[in-house]
Amino acid sequence: MEQTKPSAHGTIRASTLKTIVPLIMENFKCTENEALRLFYESHTGACYGDDSTGLYGQSALYVFSLLCDEIQKRCLTPVAATLKP
């Protein structure tokens, strides 16, 4: 079985992120920039960017559900209140 080259992981992530970001925007009523910030500043986002976790290969809905679980566990306030520039 051929192993995916690390350089391909970025392409996979970028493609999947195109689905994750609109889900965040819709569910948390935020802008695209706020959604990206929320994702990349989360533990889920950190794991998504780490090749060793393999999270980049999971479905967008799975990754989004992990983010939602993380947010729920943290009991975060609404996104608009937490994403001040």
Alpha helices in 2-57 (DSSP H): 6-28, 32-40, 43-48
Phi then psi for 66, rounded to 5 degrees? -65, -45
Number of domains within the chain: 1
pLDDT digits (tens, 9 = 90+) for 55-84: 989 999 999 999 999 988 886 555 555 555
Does residue 1 fall inside a structural domain? no
User: Considering the entire predicted model, what is its pTM?
Assistant: 0.76
Cα(38)–Cα(60) distance, integer angstroms = 15
Structural domain of 68:
6-82
Does residue 28 fall inside a structural domain? yes
pLDDT digits (tens, 9 = 90+) for 22-67: 999 999 999 999 999 999 999 999 999 998 999 989 999 999 999 9
